[in-house]
Amino acid sequence: MRSFAIALFGLLALSSCEKEISINVPPVASELVVEASINQAIPTLNYVFINRTIDYFNPQLNLNGLNDAEVYITEGSIQGTDTLYSGTRWKFSLLSDSLLPGVYANLTFTGKENTPYKLDISMPDGKKVSGTTFIGKPPVIDSMQYWFQIEGKDTNSFFWMQWFDGPEQNNYRMAIYNNVDSLLLGWGAAQRFYTFDDELINNAMRPFRSLRPYSYGDTLNIYLSSIGRREYLFWESFGSAANNGGPFATPIAVKSNISGAIGSFTGYAIERKRIVLRYPK
Amino acid sequence: MKQRDSLIYLIVWIFLSFLPNSAQSQTRYSVSGYVKDSTTGETLIGAAVRIANSNRGAVTNSYGFFSLNLNENENELHISYLGYDSKTIKFKPGKEIRLNISLSPVGLKGREVVITGERSDKNIRSTEMSRIELSGEKIKQLPVIFGEPDVLKAITLLPGIKSGGEASTGFYVRGGGPDQNLILMDEAVVYNPSHLFGFLSVFNSDAVKNIDIIKGGMPANYGGRLSSILNVNMREGNNQQYKTSGGVGLISSRLTFEGPLQKGKSSFLVSGRRTYIDVLAKPFIPSRLSGNSYYFYDMNVKGNVILGEKDRLFISGYFGRDILNFQSPQNKDVFFDFGWGNSTATLRWNHVFSPKLFSNTSLIFNRYDLFNDFTFGTNGFNVRSSVQDWNLKSDFTWFPRENHQVKFGLNYTYHTFQPGILSGSLGSTSINQAINKQFAHEYAAYILDEWQVNQRLIINAGLRLVAFQLVGPYTQAVFDNETQLATGESKVYKPGETIAFYPRLEPRLSGTYLLNSESSIKGSFTQTYQFLHLATTSGAQFPLDLWVPSSARVKPQLAYQYALGYFRNFKQDAYESSVEVYYKPMYNQIEFRPGAQLFFNQNLENEMVFGEGLSYGAEFFLRKKAGDLTGWVGYTWSRTTRQFDALNNGQPYFFRYDRTHDISLLLAYQINPKWSANFVFVFGTGNAVTLPVGRYTYRFGVNPQEQRPEFAIVDVYGKVNDYRLPAYHRADISFTYLAKKTEKWESSWNFSIYNVYNRANPYFIYFYPDIEKQEVKAFMVYLFPILPSVQWNFKF
């Protein structure tokens, strides 16, 4: 559908024009927004980011985080068909009220594979947010390769990789961080994001091929994660909501997996690979 | 209305209408026949045949046939048709009289200027309301964009019919969606009437004889959609002489060849059209984009043969394709080929059993399909989807008495839905998946009687029995509502086994009460069901949109429509005017959840939500039919809402194409024998759209090099369709110059200026949050500024 939309936009671009207009939209009732992320491998990706919705034309275009929340993450266990959240409880504290408002973390926290977790947030006005997630088993990247294509003065680079998708129902989120420094400081530092489930490919090798090129010499840090089904539905809807525009834009609401706020609590079982897109010396 | 009530209504109707009346004893003989164009032999649809010195008459049907019962003392008929010289025929009364009447186009007998047209009062006398006809020739004279005359753009100039916008051939009739219009080309259903992503329709104006649209008071011989029926009748071909005609426009050209197979008895027509944007643009496209192209083509073929006095055979077909080839400028390994189109074939047999009984039997095939081939490197996959029908129908028209015209018929359609087949390979993994095909039978039987009760009152009552049966083979997977995953359970239906069955009755009633010779009051009630639904989330009709059948979960759509109108003619029928009000509640309406994934979704029904709709309004129409200056002005005031429990917190909201005020003005002026001019002005309240009212930041991160936070901005939407785009208005003008007209050669130029005063009409609005400047800006995109175009038409 996206390729189709690109082609159509190209066609429209031949004749369309635009002009700036002023629009009055009514004020919106503010809601809490929570992005909670935990994993088993990378401490900088364990954090909770809290902010609020604001009026659309509010000129404030920064993080807009909320600093006075009480944030806890509790480890759980699975006993038969029940999940109990009675394990270790970590308090996530505000990192910096001025540089990174609304970002809470605990550097001692490390997620465990095959473990459930519970999120609890209390706001100063008494509002509560809660949610659960599960860190599963990380996928195993089977193989990777890359190649080059000369385009005028540029050398475009592409890569390909594959991993095995088991017979069970699997969901994945992948982030690609193009940086010589591999440490990802929050998921938003990555440049490209993808979500997959196993609707089309199940119990088989699952390939991924970059369609848009990278530059010669780029260093790609690939974060491939297994996530839960509700988390997948959230990130898939988030992808649509965050890339929604043009004449065929439709109002999209994200599919939250937490209560009391918009957003998600996602447990990532991360597999990380790094490739440098240049000829071997 | 309950089904039992409908049956009682039918029985009472039959009993009442066939009671003896005073006129019966006077009936002596019948007159029937065809009305044709004298130069081409083409039959004329909707020609008025009136008994002299009487207020009785008939109108030729879709095949140009009429039948009348005359009294002993009646022996003269007056025949008239728009753009043709009227004719009066006298004959000797007999038992059964067959007439083949030829009318000559005005201007043929030495007069070059069309100063007279049809002066008929059929608009006030017929029971039909909310029905308008346009000829193919008329459509070609209207101002056009890119020099392309377009049927669907033309009908949106009529009151009560709203355009989906400049980039859409979708039209909206009395509050209904574009999928609620049944679009027929020579009786074959056209599922996607768009070329060029909706900018143009699939109907080649050279091959179109006439169109008529029924937007309310739908008689019982039509059904299948809630809102309207658009009949596009293709030309039959000249059965007198070989003719070639065509046109050259800015983006496409057309060529038509027609002639007799056996003079006066049979004819053929072949008409083709192709865009050449791809060819013209090729030298100007940078080499890195040279792999991209877009074009469409279509072809109409028609033949007909008069087998004898009583039999005629017609065969017609359409085949059209849009083709888009795309090669990524960034990655030459990435190819994308996309094509879609309609195919139709219609075989029709007209048989006149007797002057009182006319029949048409049709076998129709239609198919809409698309392919999408995506290749990247050694990987690739192909997607195919289609909807296909086989349709067999028989329609009968019976003229039992001079005050009755009865129509009855049967209709059967076999639908095959192929929502998606995906095959290909990704790396070492091959993919072969298909969303299950669905099969359905659709049945209809109808009867209607147009009964002239007395000199003032005419009633048209009908009943349509419809049934829809979704059958196996089908495997229905069970999905979990929360995870949207298959639970592993499924129900298997054997071939022919019923999955869902919906028998329904559709009563129809309309009537005309003549107040005097110049005015009448009309009223109508219709109940309609629709069993097929278009899966789309956008306002436009897209190639990727899917048609889905009613099922156990998806109930048939239902609409009632009540309409009342006052019709008045002035100055010996040179002017027509009407005021119609309507009230139309709709049930089991379908929308998709925001952000629904429609393509290749095994669980599409789970994305649907169900609700109700309501539309009401008043339409005013004034038309001048005769003189150098002709045209019409229409004004509609309307209100259309939808209410879905799952949308907008259950509160009613404006339908996207709710348009409070809608004005259309069309003027045609014959300046002199060589020059004519057309002027169009349209105005419409802006579309209702949903805009974001808030936003939040998400997907937090820190850019280590620049030491600043990174985040995405996500919009929050408020009430559905709570914002109005600016009003749409535009004026167009065209001049047609008849360069040469002899018996052997005719050529004309059409010069059009679209959007004369360069109005920036909204296409869509987008927002740009400028993080550097800390401000959010709104921009309106508009498509077409002032656009001149030229088109050359020829005929020899």
Most A-contacting residue of B284, B290, B325, B697 (CB-CB within 10 A), to test interface = B697
Mean pLDDT in residue range B516-542: 81
pLDDT digits (tens, 9 = 90+) for B66-97: 888 877 778 888 888 877 888 888 877 777 77
Contact indicator for B399, B65 with CB cutoff of 8 Å: no
Closest CA to B54 of B66, B65, B67, B70: B70
Q: Which of A19-33, A60-74, B559-573, B674-688 has the lowest mean pLDDT?
A: A19-33
- Portion of chain A with pLDDT greater than 70, in percent: 92
Decide if A21 and B765 are in contact by the 8 Å CB cutoff: yes
**The tokens of B711 are what?**
């985040």
The per-residue pLDDT for A189 is 94
What's the Rg (C-alpha) of chain A?
Answer: 21
Q: Is the pLDDT confidence value at B729 over 70?
A: yes
The per-residue pLDDT for B132 is 77
Q: Is the pLDDT confidence value at A8 over 50?
A: no
B3-113 has which CATH code?
A: 2.60.40.1120
Contact indicator for B675, B737 with CB cutoff of 8 Å: yes
pLDDT digits (tens, 9 = 90+) for B350-359: 888 887 888 9
Nearest to A1 among B599, B691, B780 (CB): B599
Return phi, psi of residue B158, to 5°.
-95, 145
Decide if A162 and B777 are in contact by the 8 Å CB cutoff: no
Q: Where are the beta strands (DSSP E) in B453-497?
A: 457-471, 474-479, 486-493
Q: Which of A225-229, B251-255, B726-730 has the lowest mean pLDDT?
A: B251-255
The per-residue pLDDT for B768 is 79
Other beta carbons within 10 Å of B285: 13
Q: What is the mean pLDDT of chain B?
A: 82
3-state secondary structure B394-437: EEEEEEEECCEEEEEEEEEEEEEEEEEEEEEEECCEEEEEEECC
Q: Distance between CA B42 and CA B36 in Å, rounded?
A: 5
CB pairs under 8 A between A and B: 259
Other beta carbons within 10 Å of A140: 9
Nearest CA in chain B to A52: B696
B613, exposed or middle or buried, with CB in 10 Å at 0-12, 13-18, 19+?
buried
The per-residue pLDDT for B7 is 58
Nearest to A54 among B484, B594, B695 (CB): B695
Closest CA to B612 of B534, B559, B690, B546: B559
Helices marked H in A41-180: none
Q: Is the pLDDT confidence value at B108 over 70?
A: no
Q: Distance between CA B302 and CA B345 in Å, rounded?
A: 10
Nearest to B429 among A26, A206, A246 (CB): A206
**The tokens of B89 are what?**
């025929």
Buried b (16+ CB within 10 A) or exposed e, A18-35: eeeeeeebeebeeebbbb
Nearest to A200 among B431, B540, B777 (CB): B431
Mean pLDDT in residue range B544-560: 87
In chain B, residues with a C-beta closer than 8 Å to the C-beta of A12 are: 167, 783
Other beta carbons within 10 Å of B753: 16
Decide if A56 and B692 are in contact by the 8 Å CB cutoff: yes
Q: Which CATH number fits domain B131-231: 3.90.550.10, 3.40.50.1100, 2.170.130.10, 3.40.50.1820?
A: 2.170.130.10
Closest CA to B560 of B220, B126, B216: B216
Nearest to B700 among A21, A188, A233 (CB): A188
Q: Distance between CA B695 and CA B712 in Å, rounded?
A: 10
Decide if A63 and B771 are in contact by the 8 Å CB cutoff: no
Contact indicator for B164, B172 with CB cutoff of 8 Å: yes
Contact indicator for B307, B333 with CB cutoff of 8 Å: no
In chain A, residues with a C-beta closer than 8 Å to the C-beta of B705 are: 179
pLDDT digits (tens, 9 = 90+) for A149-183: 887 778 889 898 999 998 888 999 999 999 988 88
Q: How far does the CA of residue A216 sit from the closest CA of chain B (Å)? A: 14
- Indicate the pLDDT class of residue B428, thresholds 50, 70 and 90: low
Contact indicator for B378, B358 with CB cutoff of 8 Å: no
Would you call B78 helix, strand, or coil by DSSP? strand
Q: How far does the CA of residue A281 sit from the closest CA of chain B (Å)? A: 26
Q: Is the pLDDT confidence value at B697 over 60?
A: yes
Q: How far does the CA of residue B710 sit from the closest CA of chain A (Å)? A: 6
Decide if A25 and B692 are in contact by the 8 Å CB cutoff: yes
Q: Is the pLDDT confidence value at A62 over 60?
A: yes
**The tokens of A185 are what?**
């400081």
The per-residue pLDDT for A64 is 81
Decide if A17 and B702 are in contact by the 8 Å CB cutoff: no
Decide if A229 and B690 are in contact by the 8 Å CB cutoff: no
CA of A128: how far to CAs of A38, A69, B693, in Å? 20, 10, 24
DSSP state of B105: B
Q: Distance between CA B612 and CA B595 in Å, rounded?
A: 21
Nearest to B781 among A18, A49, A213 (CB): A18
- Indicate the pLDDT class of residue A4, thresholds 50, 70 and 90: very low
- Indicate the pLDDT class of residue B585, thresholds 50, 70 and 90: very high
**The tokens of A131 are what?**
């949610």
The per-residue pLDDT for A116 is 97
Report domain extents, chain A.
Answer: 26-135, 141-255+268-276
A26-135 has which CATH code?
A: 2.60.40
pTM of the model: 0.82
The per-residue pLDDT for B118 is 44
Contact indicator for A257, A230 with CB cutoff of 8 Å: yes
- DSSP secondary structure, B667-698, as one string: EEEE-SSSEEEEEEEEEEPPPEE--EEEEEEE
Most B-contacting residue of A2, A6, A8 (CB-CB within 10 A), to test interface = A8
**The tokens of B464 are what?**
């349509």
Task: Tell me if A26-135 shares its fold with A141-255+268-276.
Answer: yes
Q: Is the pLDDT confidence value at B112 over 50?
A: no
In chain B, residues with a C-beta closer than 8 Å to the C-beta of A20 are: 777-780
Q: Distance between CA B279 and CA B277 in Å, rounded?
A: 6
CA of B220: how far to CAs of B463, B466, B511, B593, B696, in Å? 6, 11, 14, 34, 54
Q: Distance between CA B416 and CA B438 in Å, rounded?
A: 6
CA of B543: how far to CAs of A133, B295, B369, in Å? 39, 14, 9
The per-residue pLDDT for B168 is 65
Q: Is the pLDDT confidence value at B438 over 80?
A: yes
Contact indicator for B464, B506 with CB cutoff of 8 Å: yes
Nearest CA in chain B to A248: B538
Decide if A188 and B288 are in contact by the 8 Å CB cutoff: no
Q: Tally DSSP H helices, then E strands, for chain B.
A: 5, 50
Q: Distance between CA B769 and CA B707 in Å, rounded?
A: 21
In chain A, residues with a C-beta closer than 8 Å to the C-beta of B429 are: 201, 204-207
Decide if B429 and A201 are in contact by the 8 Å CB cutoff: yes
The per-residue pLDDT for A181 is 85
Q: How far does the CA of residue A60 sit from the closest CA of chain B (Å)? A: 6
Q: Distance between CA B352 and CA B97 in Å, rounded?
A: 13
**The tokens of B125 are what?**
């006398």
A141-255+268-276 has which CATH code?
A: 2.60.40
Q: Distance between CA A47 and CA A65 in Å, rounded?
A: 13
**The tokens of A252 are what?**
């999209």
CA of B391: how far to CAs of B397, B497, B518, B663, in Å? 20, 21, 42, 38
* CA count, 13 A, side-chain hemisphere, B556: 24
Q: Distance between CA A262 and CA A102 in Å, rounded?
A: 15
The per-residue pLDDT for B120 is 62
Report domain extents, chain B.
Answer: 3-113, 131-231
- Indicate the pLDDT class of residue A3, thresholds 50, 70 and 90: very low
pLDDT digits (tens, 9 = 90+) for B285-327: 555 555 667 788 899 999 988 888 888 899 999 999 888 887 7
**The tokens of B781 are what?**
């995109």
The per-residue pLDDT for B332 is 66
More confident residue, A265 or A12: A265
Q: Distance between CA A121 and CA A264 in Å, rounded?
A: 13
Most A-contacting residue of B644, B699, B764 (CB-CB within 10 A), to test interface = B699
Q: How far does the CA of residue A146 sit from the closest CA of chain B (Å)? A: 12
Q: Position B251: which residue type?
A: I
Question: Omega before B473 cis (within 30°)?
Answer: yes
Q: Position B43: which residue type?
A: T
Nearest CA in chain A to B372: A4
What residues form DSSP beta bridges with B244? B257
In chain B, residues with a C-beta closer than 8 Å to the C-beta of A206 are: 426, 429
Return phi, psi of residue B528, to 5°.
-130, 145
Q: Position A246: which residue type?
A: G
Most A-contacting residue of B371, B422, B716, B722 (CB-CB within 10 A), to test interface = B716
pLDDT digits (tens, 9 = 90+) for B126-163: 777 767 777 777 777 676 666 677 888 788 888 778 87
Place of tokens 């001049």: B735
Contact indicator for A135, A114 with CB cutoff of 8 Å: yes
Nearest to B716 among A4, A28, A230 (CB): A28
- Portion of chain B with pLDDT greater than 70, in percent: 86
Q: Distance between CA B47 and CA B59 in Å, rounded?
A: 5
Decide if A61 and B334 are in contact by the 8 Å CB cutoff: no
